Amino acid sequence: MKNLLLIILAFTISPLWPIGPNPLPGDPFIIVNKRTNELAFIHNEQVQMKFPVATGKTDELTPEGKYTITVKAINPYYRKKNIAGGSPKNPLGSRWIGFDANDTNGRIYGVHGTNRPSEIGKYVSEGCIRLKNEDVEQLFELVPLGTKILITSTTKSFEQIAKENGAID
């Protein structure tokens, strides 16, 4: 019996259980549905906004799971190709909202703008979630660090997903 309790305790305090804490009802919460290429911002127990997005070229590139927003940046610098923030050549657009997918620090995976708005709605990224610059700027103002983001691929509604994850009572 003691061993069973130790095993249960180990799993419940493990970082694998279940995938981080759920938001509380009313907390800001972001849901990305790769099946529909849409993002929803949930706050005060309601879907406040929905935006079309672009996601990974392949299903594996945009990782599914529940993560935490850890970094926010205005006019982010694009390190991969040494492109200054604010440059029209910068593929990250005007805002970066980074999250900790795959044990990263919020600087690898993110919700960000784009310099190619015609690609929104398509499967074209290397793993990030792209929005039109005007949409990511609006979202950026509403999302505090520590906000949970759930990335999934489902036929369920945003309301149903939010309810299942504790963002809506």
Phi and psi for 110 in degrees, rounded to 5? -160, 165
Show the CA angle centred on residue 100, arms to residues 94 and 35, nearest 5°.
75
Q: How far apart (Å, rounded) are the C-alpha atoms in residues 9 and 108?
A: 32
Q: CA of 16: how far to CAs of 61, 83, 99, in Å?
A: 21, 36, 17
Structural Rg of the chain based on CA atoms: 17
Does 43 participate in catalysis according to the annotation? no
| Residue of 66, 72, 112, 148 marked active site | 112
Q: How far apart (Å, rounded) are the C-alpha atoms in residues 5 and 160?
A: 33
| Residue of 39, 128, 136, 161 marked active site | 128
Does 46 participate in catalysis according to the annotation? no
Q: Which residues are catalytic?
A: 112, 128
